Amino acid sequence: MNSRSWVSIAAPIAMGLVFLAAWHAIVAINQIPSYILPGPLLVLETLLRDWNPLFHSLLITLRVTGSALLLAVLLGSLLSVLFVQSRLLEAALLPYAVILQVTPLVAIAPLIIIWVDDPFDALVICATVASIFPVIANTTVGLRSVDTGLVDLFRLYGASRTQVLVRLRIPSAAPYFFAGLRVATALALIGAVVAEFVAGTGGTRSGLAYQILQAGLQLKIPRLFAALLLITVTGIALFLVVSWLSRLALHRWHESELPQEK
């Protein structure tokens, strides 16, 4: 590992330590009560003490996020492929995808939660609605961004529509798809949390957002912070997983994932 990458790891860690130390100092010096702002050590202590219920909630939130992301990817990619095959279909459906995107999730979530009986399903639908648009938008652009020379080449050799789709359009779309997937991943987690907030006691009563809601009502602020920490860590972990997938798929050929020149 060279010095550059050491810096890129050490610098944010040092920054984080400075922040934690300052946080600890401010709480200790001003003797701020823990129901206003708990110190970092108390948050950690709470996280360890309440690990079982919190971890259980984390798994629920992860399941909602994961299911929604999977659904968004499958449905979004399928729609993109249909859009590219038929301009008519795109013209008919795209405006509704946009409407779905620009309408705030908090405004639709209550309806979805009322209409869908199973609370888990309702949360998954909300998170899917929140995350599907970047998949559709990016993949559609990607499927269209095909080298015209390669299109000629495929035509010259008599490629079928399916061959053009599978061997040319889908690989061309991969970098765009992964860029969309990164955004969609963050949105799916946000969607899952927001939906659970909106659902309140009507939801699964078990995700991380519900923990935050409960902890807030009961003034268990250290626990609220612990749940918040878990959501953040989950978001970072999901981002890293998607980045890793993207690198795995693109590292040998696409500019965005090539190693930096020295």
Partner 1 sequence: MTSPDTPPAAIDIRGASKTYPNGVRALEPIALTVRQGEFVTIVGPSGCGKSTLLRLIAGLSPSTAGSIVLSEGFSPPRLAYVFQSPTLMPWASVQANVRLPLDLAGMPRSDADEKTRHALELVGLQEFARSFPRELSGGMQMRVSIARALATEPRLLLMDEPFGALDEITRNRLDREFSELSARENLTVLFVTHSIYEAVFLSSRVLVMSPRPGRVHAEVNIDAPRPRRDSFRGTVKFATHSAQLSEMLGAVMSEAE
Residues that bind partner 1 (CB under 8 A): 147, 149-150, 152-159, 163, 167-168, 171, 174, 252-254, 258
CA neighbor of 179 nearest in space, from 125, 249, 95: 249
CA dihedral 53, 58, 61, 67 (to 10 degrees): -120
| Phi, psi (deg, nearest 5) at residue 259 | -60, 145
CB of 191 to partner 1, least distance (A): 31
Tell me how far, at minimum, the Cβ of 158 lies from partner 1, in Å. Answer: 7
C-beta of 121 vs 257, nearer to partner 1 = 257
Q: What gap in Å lies between CA 195 and CA 229, rounded to an integer? A: 19
Q: How far is the CB of 149 from partner 1 (least distance, A)?
A: 4
CB-wise, 125 or 143, nearer to partner 1? 143
Nearest distance from residue 145's CB to partner 1, in Å?
12
CA gap 115, 202 in Å, rounded: 12
Q: How far apart are the first and last CA of the chain?
A: 13
DSSP state of 261: P
- Kindly state the tokens that stand for 136: 């559709």
Tell me whether residue 42 or residue 146 sits nearer to partner 1 (CB atom): 146
For partner 1, the closer CB: 94 or 151? 151
